[in-house]
Every structure is written in structure tokens, then in C-alpha cells.
Amino acid sequence: MGLMVPISILFLSILIMMLLFKMGNPWKKNSKDFPPGPRPLPVVGNLHIMDLKKPYQTMLELMKQYGPVFKIQLGRQKIVVLTGYETVKEALVNKADVFAERAPFPIFDEYSKGFGIVFSHGENWRVMRRFMLTTLRNYGMGKRSMESRIAEECSFLVKKFESYKGKPFEFRRIVTAAVGNIIVSILLGKRYDYEDPKFIKLLSLATENNRLMGSPPMQLYNLFPILGYFVATRKKILNNRKELYAFINENFNQCFNNLDENDTRNFIDSYIVQQQQERKTQNNGYFNHKNLEESVLNLFVGGVETVASTLFWAFTLMMKYPLIQKKVQEEITNIVGYAQPGAEHRIKMPYTDAVVHEIQRYADVLPLSLPHATTVDATFKGYFIPKGTHVIPLLTSVLHDESQWEKPHEFYPEHFLNTEGKLIKRDVFMPFSAGRRICPGETLARTEIFMFFTSLLQKFTLQPAPGLSKDLDMTREVGFTITPNTYTLCALPH
């Protein structure tokens, strides 16, 4: 038995090398005009130099050596990496259509099968994105009705924090549940208690998949999908997806059975109505059940993970920098008093708004962005990039661009304040990416982050639990989105 693992690895290695030899050299065509990069090894490409736990760190090092546009080869896959504000802006904003496609990756393709919005392509992506944006606006995104929902959830979260009476507690699950209720109110028209076992399970599945998607085993699977049978992480992700789909379908059936076309109550209602209208005019449209399942899952996971991760950073940073926390609290007291903080207060609270912006910049929760692909053959920055080439806009290189930020590697709210203490908007600030594939829920996410942050700091001073160093370690955990180390905190009522 002891020889089985080495023999299987040797067999797979030989099989991969035979396939590669048969398929030829992927760099031969157009290699002269392709961006520079490290020399690849047979089979593995540049995998030997990559930090699979933090690949963005390796890319930042390669940027110093090869410049703002360079190539890496992972397995057989050639990837162009774009770094720095000027380069990323030129690609995603000025040449938005050229870089608008989503690059195929085995786990993404197996997970979504080309449906939904995040990992879909072509016309399916355009139709689903248009419907999603319209529906989000119809259910209050950017309107007072949505702010009222968020304010109500803030009050539930405040009461939950109060229930600990200043004693230490782990805040992540509670905050995730509060954020989850906002997107659930749009998708299903309901909210869950923070202790509801079904809701806890749902959130844990989404969180676990987020962590596993960014893990080293899944990166290896994406490079060598032939290994899929041996990767237990892949099986776990797909099993979690089945459970998430089961939850979606249970709610779909409830909505379908209680549908009133003249009084749609949530995203699923609106989708069913659109689906029925489409069936009257065409047989094989885009509003099928697979697109519904994946769109709902995209909204739920995307709507929870990025906002919750940002809030984890917000509360951790406030514990680490108590003087900044105190200054925020003073501004909340002076402007809001005892009223419920709302989006309308943001313009009157430049320091707090600057802190929120800086939290998003410093947190850098999606450092790699999601992989793009070119829609046509293109010449970019003097290099030839063929149609279908995988492209990574390295967002971390924008949010920490040394040519754009005064203190790029420090937490410094003054990045967003002028000499008069007023908020300044900066184009280099793109935590939600940019261009055609920018996060469709950006407006909702920004409102949530501001209102949850101010509602809690209005009522509590956040401190590390007794025994924890006040100089908290800012080490980043591994995952698809990046979170800080887990800490327990004490929420001391004012």
C-alpha cells in the first residue's frame, strides 16, 4: 500500500506530459510580441515560484521585475497580469469591451456551468446582468426603502451585541447573518433569526465554499483538471452547492405557489414573471431554471462575503486603532446624535466616510479580482494579446499603488481627506473592480458597510478580549475573499 501514492503520482505525471507533448507548445504562436515573464518549466509552467496560499504576493514581486504587464504560465495556461492603476484603468475602463469576457476555469465552469452572472459569458451574461441590475433597483437598491431595511437589521444587530453585556464574543457569525438578511430580503422577501439553524447552515456552506475556492488544492485542480477525481476539496465544494441549490429550490416552489404577477415581492417572483413572459414569445430563452439557481446563488454569496469580510476588517481595525475609532464616534455623536445613522448622514461625516473608504482600500478583500479574458485579438501597451487570453487585473496593486497613495501599506484615512478635512473622491479607489464586470451590487454594498459600521460604533466601543494584544496581527487568512485573523471582541456600551 505504501507504494500506491507515489505510483499514482508518477502515472498521472506521465499522462499529463504525454497530453502536453501531443498538444504542442502553447507559447510558440505570437510569443515574440507577448508580454515578458518568468521562463516556464515543462508541465508545471511557473507553478514552482507561486505562493499558492497568496498568489497575489508572488504577482506583486513579479511586477517589480517585469513591469506593469507581464505573463505567467500555470500548467499549460498562459495568463496576462495587469498591475498598477494606470494599466488596470486603461484595460478595464478605456478598453472595457476588449477585456469584458470571463475567463473559464474548471471549478468555476463545473460550479456554474455557464449560468448566472458571475461566471457566465456572452449574451447570457448580458441578459442576466441587465435583469439583475433592474430588479435590484426595483427592490430598493439606492433608495430609501432599502435604507429602511438595512436600518431595521442594524437595530437587530445592535440588540444582539448588547446581549453580551460587554463580555467577549466571536462576532463573525452574527455579522455574517445580519449582512445575509439584507440580500435574503431582496431574494426571498424575508429575514431569519440569527440563531435559525437553517440560516446558520446556509451561511456556513457559502462561507466554506468561499474559503475552499481560494485554497491551494483548488488552484491545482484548475491547472490540472485531470486530477479532479483525487481532489477532495472539489467534491466538498460541489456537495455544498447541491445543498445551497436545495434551499433555493425550496423557496422557488414557495414563491411559485404563491405568485401574484401584479404584486411581485422579491427577486424570485420577478424572475418567474419574466420566465413566463419569455415562454409566450420563445421556446429556448435565457430565463430558465438553471439561470435562476445560479443568479440567486451569485447574489447571495456575492452579497454576503464581500460586505461581511469588509466589516470583519472594519471592526478589527477599530480595535487596533482606538484613537481613530474614538474620532469616528465623536463625529457620529456630533452629526447623528441618538438617531439611526443613515446614508443621508454620510455627506455630513467626511472623517467617518474617509475611514470607511480606507477600510475598503486597506482590507483589499478581493486582491486578484475575478479572472477576465479578451474578447478579440488586441494590442495593449505594445504587446499582442490573442482573443481568449486569461487576464488578471491585480486589484491589490491598484489599492496599494505606490505612485498613487501617500502611505499605501498603512491604514491612513487621510488618503481620502483634503487639507480642509473634506472627503475627496479618487478614481484609483476601485475595491469593486471596474468596467463591464464591476460588481453589480456596489451601491448596496457601500450603503450596508456605512450603516452597519456607524450603527455599531454609535452604541459601542470595540476592544480586543482580555488577554489579546492591542497590537492585533493583520495577517490575512486564505480564501477567495480575504479576511483578517479571527478575534473575539468586547462591545462596551457607551
What residues are designated binding site for heme?
A: 439
Give backbone dihedrals phi and psi of 68, rounded to 5 degrees, phi first: -70, -20
Query: SS3 of 78, please?
Result: strand
Enumerate the known binding-site residues: 439
Spatial distance between the Cα atoms of 425 and 106, rounded to a whole number of angstroms: 38
Q: Is the dihedral of CA 215, 488, 443, 246 positive or negative?
A: positive
What is the Cα–Cα distance from 353 to 349, expressed in whole angstroms? 6
Distance (Å, whole) CA 227 – CA 224: 6
> How far is residue 264's CA from residue 273's CA, in Å, rounded to a whole number?
8
Helix axes 289-320, 442-459, angle to 10 degrees: 40
126 CB neighbour count, 10 Å cutoff:
15
CA 415/CA 38 separation, integer angstroms: 34
In the sheet with 169-170, reading across from the earlier edge strand, the strands are 169-170, 488-493, 460-464
| Distance of alpha carbon 310 from alpha carbon 452, whole angstroms | 11
